[in-house]
Structure 1
Amino acid sequence: AEAAAEAPAAPAPAAREPKKPAAPKETDKKFLETLDAMEAALEQGLLHAAADHDKWLKEHKTRLTPAQTDRLNHVRAELKRLGDWARWGGNVSREELVRAVEELPALGLAMSELAKKVGSMRERWKSLDAVSGHAPKSLWERFDSACTAAYAPAAAHFKQLADERHANAAKAQALIDETRNMAAAAVAEGADLKNVAAAGQRLRQMWGRLGTIDRKEKRKLDQAFDKALAQMLAPLAEQRKIETAKRELLIAEAEQMQPGDRHTLDHLRRLQERWQEQAKALPLERKAEQALWQRFRAACDAIFAKRKESAHAADHERKAHLHAREALCKELETATFSGEDKAQLAAIAKTLRDAAAAWHAAGAVPRASEARIQQRYQAAVAAVQ
């Protein structure tokens, strides 16, 4: 023991250098920056952002000075106070929102308006979540159930519309199939083109009455139907070109007729009969048929108008001839002759010759007056003789 005591003492440990103050850690810097951001968010009323900052602070703890700790506690107390107020206010707003949703069924809104209302109220609920935090579960379940119940009629209505659109699409496809079958038959069998025209009109009318179909699907169906219908009507279209040319020939023939020809009316009637036969055998498209008919009718009307005008002129001329013959009769009826017998006979003979020449030069008179004026003339001549 003494030997041990006498053993040389161990060398004293080397003196350590004074520890330099450590530089602030990056985490400490980020912590304080986040605390600043949390405080700023509270001042701006952004509780949701402030809560996110506080969550980060709790997950990244660091050593703080007493002053910093007091500041953090103060900021968190302010967050709790404002959060309590927000939740209270949010719950009050949510209660009003729930009541508003529960009252929707009694308002009798149109289905589209009802759907918009329910959607806007759900969006309002989400905005309250962002500002005031999540609602109590019981209140959320009450709100969600009220929204589902209020939206139920609209959901049923929209489902019915969707079912109708699907049914209309099925009808459209059936019409396309029918049109394709008829197109194949028209080419293979040389079908009656008049029947093909009637079928084309019927199919167009049925297509127009299909009802609503989803827009994208309707566009595809329209293209398929138009293609099938064009194939079906292709032989008809070619024949209609030929029939149109025939109609054009009839129009040209009518336009070239001479109104004054005594055979014109008979010729015109035959043209009209041929037109009716052609129109009955194979009608053209309604607009094309109507346009051609209007031109043909105008040509016929022009002939009738010119003949009527000529008839009026001829009637006026015959009346003028009648007036001339009446004047001639009056001259004969009032004629007197004097002098020797030989001179009287010469004067009478000259008067009768002049009267006969004037009578024939006067021309035709209205048929209704022919017999009367002829009898008067003969009587006047006899009286002079």
Structure 2
Amino acid sequence: MTSPTSAKHTDIAHLDSLTGGAFTAATSGERASRIREWLLGNPAAEQLSEVFKELSIKDKGAAKLVREKLDEARRSKGQEALAAEWAARAQALIDTAKLNIADALAWQRDAAKAGAPLSKEPLATLKTQLAERVRGIEDLQHQVQVQREAAVLLAQRIEVLSTKPWGDAQAALDALRADVEHWQTQATALVAHVSWASVDLKFPPLLDASRGQLLVVWDAFQAALNLAVAAAADASAPLPPVPVWADELRIARGVPAEAPPKQAKPKIDPEVRAQASAAVRAALTTLELEVAEGHGKASAGAANALRNALKEFGKVIDGKLENQAHAALAAAGELEGWQRWRADQIREELVTKAEGLLKRPEGQAIGGRKMQETLRTLRDQWKQTDQGGVPNHALWKRFDEACNEAYKVVEGWLEKVKAESAEHKAQRLALIAEVNAWAEANRTALDDDWKGFNRILHQFGDRWREGGHVGEKVFAELQPLWKAAIANAAAPLEALQAQSLAARHAMIEEAKVLGDAPVLRIDAVKALQQRWQAQAHAVPIDRRQEQKLWDAFRKPIDDAFNRKTTEREKAETALGARDRMVLDAAKALEAANASGDAQAIRAAMAALEAALQGQAQAQADVTAAGVQEQAAQSAAAEAPNMPVAPVQSAPAAPESVADAAETDVAAEDAAPPEAPAAPAAPAKPAPKPVVAVRGDDRPGMKKEAPAAPGGRGGKFGDRKDAGAGRGGRDGAAAPWGERGPRRDDRGDRGDRGFAPAAPRLGDTAFRAQRDALEHAQLALKKLAAQAHGEALTQLLTAWEKRDASLLPPAQELGNRAAAQNRPVWVKAVEGSAKPQAAQSLLRLEMAAEVPTPAEHLDARRGLQLQLLTRRNDPAPAQTWGQDTAAVLAGEFNAADARRLQSALKVLLKR
């Protein structure tokens, strides 16, 4: 007995042989490739299912290909079923003797909507056949209209001949007879056409009426012409009824033509005529109005009323009114016939729609509400059709039965809606009770979290909106209860919001006051903004209202800042002479950058630096003039109280409060002891305390450790001649009040190494000079790189051609060592080629720290080991000039040239 395991292995082996070894393939790629090759043979669906079942366990990727093939087979099978179904419908339409054009067009529309493959056979051929059938029917209807016009033209030709001499009519008789017979032949062919039964119902009566009218006119014409011929041959024969021909024959017989006497109508009373005309005109007006509005049923009654009026008063009214009445009756007759046919056609469509409501597929079933609306629409359309035409009771019975059957779906849906409405009403009542209970328990926000309070209110609102559908009457009852409950719950928040709005309006007014102030107080603005943010975070209000308040609060402050910015921009726009000088120098530097000339760029940079230094010198002059003026004013103020002394030199401007204090002490020490005591000078104001002293902000310096002044690194106040104490040159320490004269050898600011502070540049000038300098540095770097590359290329060219004149000059090599080694390189290039110096190339690569090709890595490692054992030998970085000369002395090789170029590219830059 065979075990299930062995049977399974047997099946997998069979499937493996079937798929060309897909199950035993080593990799997933090979398995997928073999599956693709197997699928090209279009295997059966059963084989696809078996392979997919086993392969999906082992390889999902390969199984995906089989699954796609299975899906494609299922889709094609479904397409074939659809194609067969719609092909049968199309064939039924083609085989029917009486084809409705609307049905043929609806077949193509419905087939496309259902997803049938209209572009594939057999639907493509059937669609073409239906289109040709429809086109043939439309051509047939068009030919009917053409025949009708041709009959009218033939009748007009006959009437025109009756106004000409009878000889002309006799001459044209044969041609006219041939045209009439040809017209009759064409009309007979139209009626005998295969698609004549499918022609619209209004066209056969038109053709029959044209035929009858033409034959009547033709027969009358022939009879009159025969009488004219006989009267011309026999003088005693009667004259034809055509007046023109009769007058011509009378003239031929020698009888004068006399106008036939008119029969005098009997005299009618004018009152009777007026009454008859009024009655007929009233009926005529009613009929014309009904015909114009298209009311078939009403027009039929109006037509009968007009016919009765003509029977009674036809002999009394004038001919013009009688002609109008007959024309209106003809129009009413056409309207009545057309509307009856059209009304029946519309009724049949409505019956078909009503019967098809319950015959839809399961996936396309109509819901209750949609069914209710559809039935209401269908019944309204039926009523409108009955109002415009004669009713059809048989179709009404079918329509009413179909609508009643479909209404059962509506009844079930209404019961369901009623139950859901009751449930939703109970849920809404429970929600109202919950809101009321929550409002009683939460008169204030927990932990003053009013945003959470507001969030809970919004959640209640969302639950109310999502509470389900209820009837309009029930909703009208529940809505006032809900509004009262939510208003009660939101009362604490609304009271707080009113207070918050008042506070925000007050802050808006305060912001206006700050914005209108001549000097904008930034600290007050920040404090006000913080108060606003605190209020906004604490009390939530409506988003739109809060945005409007925030815009009103921000506007005056923004206007103040904009005003300040505008003033600053105006000040920056009005450039001074120094700013213009810097701007001109920056523009000149930009032009030099564009030229690409390194010397011009350096000259322009020097000019820009000179312009900036000129500003610093000007500022130093201004500062010195200010110090002198201040000293003069102080001397003038102290003149009444102090003795006159010769002025030796103005002291340097003190740099800080501490410097000013030391200067005062030194001045006191310098006074001679024998000088008489001067009157007490007015007390000087105490110097302001130092609030903040800027520390040393250089890189690597500590903020809390101030930089040591002077060049010796001593404490502040130590001098070169201080010795061991504060006293004189002997080094003895002296008391503070008994020190000798102090020599202020600090010098001016320039002696200490500090340049005078340059005046502040305008924003435009500062940005212009900064950008120009940055662009100049980039341009110089680019030019240096280009020059370096050109020099290296010239060096390799000289080596290749063994021509020392092609070597670049020393200043272009860029490296001092390279310039020193250039004579050695010249001798190496001028000499005869020697064997390649492989070790020198390796040393150059080691000096430049560039990678060595893979085939020379072992040699480089060996050389590195040798260099480790030679302690006193110079390193490759020290001998790269001699190594380069050794390489240049050897034979030129493209590979060695590339290695040399990569090494020198680094070494020449150092």
Higher helix share: 1
| Bigger radius of gyration | 2
